[in-house]
Every structure is written in structure tokens, then in C-alpha cells.
Chain A
Amino acid sequence: MGAEARPARPAVRAAARVGRRGLTRRERRAAAVAYAFLTPALVLLGVFTFYPVLFGTALALFDYDVISPPRFVGLAHFRAMAEDRYFWIALGNSVKFLLVVPVLQGLSIALAVTVNKPVRGIRWFRAAYYLPVVTSMVAVGLMWRWLLEQDGVVNWLLLSIGALARPVAWLGDPDLALYAVMFVTLWKGLGFYMVIYLVGLQAISPEVEEAAVVDGATRWQVFRRVTLPLLRPSILLASTISAMAALKVFEEVYVMTGGGPMFRTYTMFYYIFDRGFQQLDMGYAAALAVVLAGAILALSAVNFRIFREGGWTYH
């Protein structure tokens, strides 16, 4: 990103050179105009984006039930977490949910490569693959809940092709529910990441790939040694977005399983929602949110390391 990339208007820049110390009249005018335009946005972001970051961290050190005034408890919430069974269940499930990231990214790359070849009508196929992205999670969750019923369509399909011996209650089975939810996340996310990779693929000049073909590389070798490395910026972006989304998964769980069966789909964000908004235990919920934010930032940092610094070198 470069706020400085574009030269400002020459007149204004000249003025900036003149008045290095103290602001010139022109500069003051520019500042007044600029901040007049910026103020509404900055005020709203200040109250609802920056303030929560600061105050949310502070709130984690208090007991607060919305009714009585907050009471300072220091690090007690964090100590309580170590003993809190539901915290560990929720954290474990959220971390398990990260399994969706490599699968989703791999399939999205494959899908993007498939639809990158221009054939007649490809536009409509791309649109079809994107449709789940713009569909409400409420509608998606409801319909998959019905599809995944024990006597639902998914079981019928798997039974008739012989992939299953007897019907399975996908969302009701404690060992399967989390994976069933992950499958729906995958189904809904494919189109979104497909677009990110399509943009990445279209930025690769065809000559590079053609040169490899001339050198006698097979189709797979070209993909593996040329296309995939060049796609790295897109992979970094997409997998970071996807990992953040996986760690804070909530909506599909809320609509499809409500955290059950037996807390097997209970995730960190679900626990924050429960503690904060159902039990009005805002201090503890804020402490949970701090832990989740820490996990998300750490994961993004790791992700950046892997894809920036040649954890994936090809030569």
C-alpha cells in the first residue's frame, strides 16, 4: 500500500516545501479541508473500532455484568480459563476447524485453474460457483441442516452410490458434527477464494508458462514449478483470510448445531457469544476475546513467515 505513491497536486506540494517549520496558510487550509472530510469516518471508527481494542483489553481485567459497576479482578479471568473445561473444548474445536483451510485453499486453486481457461459460457459457470458466497448463512445453514438429516438427501445419495452402508446423522453424531459443519464452510467459501486465485492467475503472464512448456515440462510440472510459486501472494492473502475466519467460526455453528451435540461443535467465538451476550459475563467474555485475538494474530504472523520466507521454495 502506498499513501505516498501518487504525487499530490503540484501547487499544494510546492507550498509544503516552503513551510517546513510551522504550517503555511495553504497547508493549514489543506489540513482543514482534509480533516473536514475525514472527521465523520474517524469519529465512528474511533468509537466503534479503535476504542474497543483498547477498552476490550482493559475490560478483560474486570468483572462486569452490565448492571453493577465493573470490579477490578486483575488476571483472575485468565487464571480461571486454565481450569475452565468449556474454554479448552471451545479452543480445541476452533483449532481443529483450521483443518478446513488447506483443503479449502487446495480446492479453490484447482477450481480457479479450471475456470481460468476461457471457454464459451465460462462466465456463467463462475457465477454459479460464486452463488453460495452471496447466499445468506441462515438460508445455507437451514438447507444443509435438512440435507444432512439422517433421512436426508446426502445420505440417500451416498447410500445409492454405495459409499455408505447405513444412513448417518451427520450433525447429530458427536464424532462427525464438526466435520459436517466444516464441509458447509467449504461449500460456501469455494467461490470466494476462487475469485482471489483467478485474479492471481490472470496476473501471471502466459509467456512464462509457455516457456516452460517449450522446455519440455509436463502440464503438472508447469503448474507445480511455475504457476504455484507465482501464485504465492494470492495464497498468502487467501489462507490468512481463511485461517482468521476458521478460528472465529460462528454463524454456521449457530444455525446448524447450536454448539452440540455434547459441545462437539462449540467454538471459541460461540463461547464468547454465550458468556458475553447470554450470561452477560462481559469481563470473562472480553478475556476470551483477547485470547482469540492473540491466537488470530499469532497465526497470521506464522502464515506470513511461511509464505514470505521460502518455506515453500521450489529451487
Chain B
Amino acid sequence: MGLAVRYAGLAALAAFAIFPLLWLLSIALRATGSVFGFPPQLVPWPVSAAHFVTVWQTMPLPRFFANTVLLCGAAVALNVVLCAMAAYPLARIEFPGRKLVAALLLSTLMLPGHVGMIVNFVTLLRLGLVDTYAGVLLPGAVSVFGIFLLRQAFLTVPAELEDAARIDGASEWGIWWRVMLPVIAPALAALALFEFVAVWNSFLWPLIVLKTPEKYPLAVGLLYLSGLFAHNTRAVAAGAVLMTIPIVVVFLFTQRYFLRGLTVGAVR
């Protein structure tokens, strides 16, 4: 097959994958005119940032942005620290019950997630955590996927490094913090990225837990705005673009982490 044909095929597929995103950008950027109707105006001309200004100034978008950043930061920190703690003994220490703990954790990967939502909501009610960020964060604060991902990474750390630190009199905590974590930094980064994207985009659980619109993260807030401002498609589109840009930027700079296929390695 000719190279030109190959590239034409790849480009057509790429158009299929990214055209909807470009179209979203296009309707957000065009100042006036209908979003619908034939033929659609694909190229935004004249270009205008008016809708971005509108959505930023008249809707509580900055607030939603700040909420999302806060939630993402906390979720990433919790997951990275707690998963790294749990994965360390599973990889490096032989202790009674290790196989049992590993099997127990593995069994959760087979369980259909989400089904625990109802009980988790009842638990949050009892703990008084409904409509709090703690309620949004705690059920997802440890990911079993993350534990297995980091366990794989800990397994690759050479024993000599650990032995040397032990001879120098380092504590277990010190070994974990000063010897192990720096070595597995790439795996920590991968987990942080996956968690960041997942939390940035998640809306079902925050929608259930949070009752006050001022506390909404972007994903829930945008949905809420799309109901309130249904007549203003272009402003809602601008909001969707603003929500998507940070993820696209992060993804483009870190794509190798996503395209290496961590799921397979972690489950096997």
C-alpha cells in the first residue's frame, strides 16, 4: 500500500476522532449566528472571545475551576501517598497474611464497581459527610489499580539500594521515603496523571454527594449550567472548551504514559 494512501487513511481516522472537539471550539469562538442549520458554519468567522468572557463573568465558572483544582489536587495526593504506602510491603516485605491481603485486593478488581454507591451514600449520611469534599474524596482515596501499579514498580527496585540504606541505619519509613519513592517516581507520575484525569472528568459521584451548587466541580457545574443556560449554546460550549483545554494540554505533554497501556501490566 502506498505511503500516501496510508497517511490519507490515518488522517481520515484522526478527523473522525477530533472533529467533534474542533467543532465545539468553532461554535464557542464564533460571535454570532445559529449553531444549527444547513450548511453548518464550520470555520468560526468572525472570531470572537465574547462567549468565553460571558461564561467566565456571568456564570460561576471561576468558582467551579477552583473547586476542581482543589478536588483533583487532594485526590492525587491521597492516592499517590496511600497507594505507595500499601504497595510497599506487598512488594518488599514478607509478612504473615501477605498473600491473603493481595488476594483480597485483587478480588475488588473483579467486583463490579459503582454498585457500592448506594451503601457508600448511606455511610456518608451516617458520618455527616454528605455535601462535603471529604465525602467526594474518601471512597476513591485508594485505588486498587494504583496499589498494583506501584507494587510492580517497587518490585523492580534493586535490593542493593535497600541493603545499603539499612546498613546506614535508615528506618523503614526512611527507606520507603528516601530510597524507594525516588526510584519509582515514573510510576508515581503515571498514577498521578491517571487519577488527575479521572477526577477532573468525574461527575456522577460529586453530583450525588454535593448538594450546594457553589461546591460543584467543573464537570457537574457545566452540566448544571447547560440546564440553566440552555438557550445560550455558544456560552455553554465555551465553558466545555475551558473545561477540556487543561486535560488536552496535560495529555499532549504526557501522552506516552497513557499510550503505553498501564491497564494490562497492572492486572496481569
Contacts and interface: CB of A to CB of B under 8 A. Distances in A.
Given A9-B162, A244-B112, A195 B258 contact: yes
Closest CB pairs A-B (n = 9): A52-B116, A8-B94, A34-B89, A199-B261, A41-B86, A52-B119, A3-B102, A34-B95, A48-B139
A48 B116 contact: yes
A182 B86 CA distance: 38
A280 to B, nearest CB: 10
A292 B222 CA distance: 29
B241 to A, nearest CB: 8
Nearest to B111: A53
B176 interface: yes
Contacts of B226: 142
Contacts of B231: none
Interface in B211-263: 218-220, 222-223, 226, 233, 236-237, 240-241, 243-244, 247-248, 251-252, 255, 258-261, 263
A237 interface: yes
Given A114-B10, A134-B247, A139-B240, A34 B261 contact: no
A153 B37 CA distance: 8
Interface string A278-306: 00001001100110110011001000000
A152 B36 contact: yes
B14 A292 contact: no
Among A138, A156, A244: residue with most chain B CB under 10 A: A138
Contacts of A23: 96
B20 interface: yes
B122 interface: yes
B123 interface: yes
**Interface size class of chain A, counting residues whose CB lies under 8 Å from the partner chain:** 35 or more
Interface in A87-144: 111, 114-115, 117, 119, 122-123, 125-140, 142-144
A37 B120 contact: no
A217 B209 CA distance: 58
A1 to B, nearest CB: 6
Interface string B82-99: 110110111111111111
B86 A38 contact: yes
Interface stretch (B48-56, B69-77, B184-192, B196-204): B196-204
- Chain A interface, DSSP helix/strand/loop, else mixed: helix
A180 interface: no
A66 interface: yes
Nearest to A255: B223
B94 A13 contact: yes
B138 A143 contact: no
Nearest to B39: A156
Interface in B147-170: 147-148, 155, 159, 162
B41 to A, nearest CB: 10
B101 A42 contact: yes
A53 to B, nearest CB: 6
A190 B17 contact: yes
Contact of A1 (B102, B122, B142, B201): B102
Given A127-B252, A130-B258, A137 B119 contact: no
Contacts of B125: 66
